[in-house]
A = this chain, B = another copy of it.
Amino acid sequence: MSQGHRHEEDCCGAGPGDRVQTAVQRMKDRAMRVTAPRLRMLKVLAAARHPLSAEQIHEAAGDDQLDLVTVYRSLGAMDDAGIVQRHPLERGRSLYALVSPGHHHHHVICRRCGRIERLPGCDTSRLEAAARAKGFGDLTHVMEIYGVCPACAQPSHA
């Protein structure tokens, strides 16, 4: 999961700082405590250009600065609060990303190297409508596309 891309922010609007502030505000609204470990996590999440695993967040935040268990617990709380979005994926792993309202999207994940890229948009409305028609409510969805990225598809790579 290492490649030295350095892209500040891709497209629209809010920089990392703003996103942290927004998240902090939402935590306060929810009567959640804003602690040093959580701020570290938020900074990491705000700077990330794609979803991260708990382990990656732990490491990026300085693994000696906060416990992995705390990362899991805080991510759980933030997920419940709608501050981060959890992306459950194959083999029981999950990735987490700060929620950007109005920027719902999904990803392609390379089956071999784990590289992740964002895909624009989401076509689930029809399926969600069908689910709603069956009487289901409070809908959310999980969706990831898996494939082999260009680099890994290179014959020389085999």
Number of identical monomers bound together in the oligomeric complex: 2
A127 touches B123 (CB 8 A): yes
Counting CB contacts under 8 A, is A149 at the interface? yes
Contact between A89 and B142, CB atoms less than 8 A apart: yes
Q: How far is the CB of A1 from chain B (nearest CB, A)?
A: 11
Contact code string A119-150 (vs B, CB < 8 Å = 1, else 0): 11111111110110011111111111111111
Q: How far is the CB of A66 from chain B (nearest CB, A)?
A: 23
Instruction: Check A90 for interface membership: any CB of B closer than 8 A.
Output: yes
In the complex, the answer to whether A121 meets B131 with C-beta atoms within 8 Å is no
Q: A117-B136, A124-B143, A140-B147 are in contact. List 12 more A-B contacts (CB 8 A).
A: A88-B88, A89-B142, A123-B123, A137-B148, A138-B147, A139-B145, A139-B147, A140-B145, A140-B146, A141-B144, A141-B145, A142-B146
A residues apposed to B, CB below 8 Å: 88-93, 106, 108, 110-111, 117, 119-128, 130-131, 134-150, 153
